[in-house]
Amino acid sequence: MIGIVDYGMGNLRSVESAFEAIDQKTTVIRDPRELAEVQAIILPGVGAFGDGMRNLRESGFVEILNEEVLEKEKPYLGICLGLQFLAEKSLEQGEHDGLGWITGTVRRIDPESAQYRVPHIGWNDLRIEIEEPIFKNLEDGPIFYFVHSYYMDVSPEDSSVIAATCWHGQKIVAAVQRGNIYGVQFHPEKSQRSGLCLLRNFVDQALKD
Amino acid sequence: MLTKRIIPCLDVRAGLVTKGIAFRENVDIGDPVAMARKYYEEGADEIVFYDIAASSDRRDILIDVVDRVAREIFIPYSVGGGIRTFEDMRRVLLAGAEKVSVNSAAVRNPQVIAQGARAFGSQCVVLSMDVKRVERSEKIPSGYEIVINGGRTPMGMDAIQWAMRGEDLGAGELVVNSIDADGTRDGYEVTLTRIMADTLGIPVIASGGAGIPEHLYEVFTEGHADAAIIASMIHYNTYTIPGIKQYLADRGVPIRKVPMMQ
C-alpha cells in the first residue's frame, strides 16, 4: 500500500486517480502515525512553501517523515512542493525552513529573457542526467507537465542528486534522487502516458523488496 | 523548452457538449467525459470545460462532469463559465479541476482574482477576457475594449490595462478571447494576442477564430501565444489534434507528441 500525505495543500484527487489508473492501491494519510503502515510515501502539493511546511510541522508530519524516510529508508516521492520541501530553505514570500534532506535553496525562477514566462506552466522536455529506474521505458527527452514559479537550486556539493533538468530561460532541476528519496518538480499525475509510466516505475522500484 | 499547448474547449450545457452534436451520428460524442477522453488520448495538452448554463442550480451537473473527468484524464483541465464567487471557485477545484477561469465576475469584482490566488495559488486562477475592437479613445487607448455577458455589455475598460491589473491581482494565466474573431473561423486576433503576450509576464492563451491549422501557426509565431484554444475545427472532425500538431511540428513549432509507450 502507498500512502499519499494530505496536509491541506490542495486536492489530492488527481494523484489518487493516477495511481488508480495504474492499478496501485493508495491510502490518504492525515494522521502521521499511519505513515508507519505504508510501504511508500507520496507527498504531493501545490501552493506556497511556507504554508505547506507549517501545515506539515503543525500536523506532526515532519518528525515522522524524518523517521520513516531518513532513518528507515522508506521510499518517498515528492511532487512539486514535495520536491521543494527536500531543500534546506525556501525564499518564497520570506524565508522558510524545509526538511533539509538535500543541500539547496528554493528560489524564484529568473529566466534569462522575458520570452520565458513565470509561472513556468506547460509541457517541457527533460534532460535525463542520471538514468534512474523511474525513467525506465520513457521516450527520449520525455515531456512532462510543469506548473511552478519557484525551483530548487541544489548546492554544488549535492549536485549528484540531480536526476533530470529542463530549460526555461535557465536550468531548472526537474527531478532529484538520493537512495530511497525521489522528488519531481513536474506533475506525473498530469503528464498523460509519460506521467503514468513514471509513477509505475516508482511503484515497481518502491515495492521491489 | 516549453511546447506550445493546444487546448480543446468543450461547451457544456446540462451535462452535454453543445457543439458538434447535430453533426455527429455517434451519440456518445455529446458526453463531455467521452469527448475529453478522446482528445486526451489524441494528445490534447489541456482541456477547458465551459459551462454554458452557468446558473448555480445547474452547476451541480458540471461538478459531476468534472468529478468523472478526474478519474479518466491525466492532463490539466480547467472550468469556466459563470464562476462568480470564491465559493464557486472552491467547488470546481475540489471536484478535481486544476484551474478555474473567471471572466465577467472578475470585471465586476476584481478581488475575486486575489482571493482565489491567495487561497489556491496563482496557478489555479485563469483570467479570461472577452475583447472587442473599438475606436481608440482616452478611456480605451489600445482600441481593445472589455465586454462581458458573452460580448453583449461593453464595459468602457481598456483590455490591456485590465490584463495588467489581473496579473497584479494574481492571475496565473490569461485567456484572450476576441469577440470579433470568435466563431468566424478566420483566425485568431493575432495583433491583440501579441500585445498581451509582450506586455504580460504570465502565459497568454489565444481564443476565438481558429478554423485551420495555419491559424494556430500564426498565433504561436506572430502572436507570441503560449497556448491556443480550439473548438469547432476538431468537434466537427474537420481536423484532428494529431494532424494539427504534425502541421505545426513540420513548421518548427515546438509541440508535444503523444509518446509511444512500451
By CA distance, what is A137's nearest residue in B?
A: B262
> How would residue B54 be classed by pLDDT, with cut points 50, 70 and 90?
low
* Shortest distance, CA A209 to any CA of chain B (angstroms): 24
- Residue B64 above 60 pLDDT? yes
Low-confidence ranges of chain A (pLDDT < 70): 209
Contact status, residue B74 vs residue A190, Cβ threshold 8 Å:
yes
Amino acid A134: pLDDT? 95
In this prediction, residue A154 carries a pLDDT of 98
Q: Is B87 exposed, middle or buried (0-12, 13-18, 19+ CB in 10 A)?
A: exposed
Q: Kindly indicate the confidence band of residue B57, based on its pLDDT and cuts at 50, 70 and 90.
A: low
Is residue B256 situated within a structural domain?
no
pLDDT reported for residue B94: 83
Task: Report how many domains make up chain B.
Answer: 1
Q: What is the mean pLDDT of residues B107-135?
A: 94
- DSSP assignment of B128-195, as one string? EEEEEE----SS-TTSEEEEETTTTEEEEEEHHHHHHHHHHHT-SEEEEEETTTTTT-S---HHHHHH
pLDDT computed for residue A54 by the predictor: 95
B22 touching A, CB under 8 A? no
Q: Which residues of B102-113 are buried (b: 16+ CB within 10 A; e: fewer)?
A: bbbbbbeebebb
pLDDT in tens, B201-230: 999 999 999 999 999 999 999 999 999 999
If contacts are CB pairs under 8 Å, which of residues 156-175 in chain B contact chain A? 172-173
Catalytic residue positions of B?
A: 11, 130
Residue pLDDT, tens place only, B165-194: 999 999 999 999 999 998 889 999 999 999
What pLDDT is recorded for position B149?
82
Q: Please report the ipTM that was assigned to this predicted complex.
A: 0.93
Q: Which residues of A touch B245 (CB under 8 A)?
A: none
When CB atoms are compared, the residue of B74, B172, B259 closest to A190 is B74
Strand-strand pairing, A143-148 and A120-125: antiparallel
**Residue partners of B12: CB distance under 8 A and separation at least 6:** B18, B32, B49, B50, B51, B52, B53, B62, B65, B81
Closest chain B residue to the Cα of A140, Cα to Cα: B259
Average predicted confidence (pLDDT) for chain B = 90
Q: Which CATH architecture best describes the domain A2-206?
A: 3-Layer(aba) Sandwich (3.40)
Q: A139: which chain B residues are within 8 Å (Cβ-Cβ)?
A: 259-261
pLDDT at B262: 52
Averaged pLDDT for residues B134-144:
96
Domain ranges for chain A, please list them.
Answer: 2-206
Q: What is the CATH number of the domain that holds B152?
A: 3.20.20.70
pLDDT > 90: percent of chain B:
67
Structure-model confidence comparison of residues A7 and B149, the more confident one: A7
Q: Assess if residue B261 is contained within a domain.
A: no
DSSP classification of residue A63: H
pLDDT at B25: 40
Q: Is A146 helix (H, G, I), strand (E, B) or coil?
A: strand
Rounded distance, CA B168 to CA B161, Å?
11
Domain extent at residue B104: 5-250
Enumerate the residues of chain A whose CB falls inside 8 A of the CB of residue B95.
13
Q: For residues B18 and B64, which has the higher predicted lDDT (pLDDT)? A: B64
Q: What pLDDT sits at residue B31?
A: 86
Contacts of B201 in chain A (CB under 8 A): 114, 117-118
Residue B145: is its pLDDT beyond 60? yes
Distance, in angstroms, between A71 CA and closest chain B CA? Answer: 33
> Given a cut of 70, is residue B131 above it in pLDDT?
yes
B7-40 pLDDT, tens digit each? 999 988 777 777 543 334 433 457 889 999 999 9
Q: Which residues pair with B146 in a beta bridge?
A: B131
pLDDT at B147 over 70: yes
In angstroms, how far is CA A108 from the centroid of its own chain?
Answer: 17
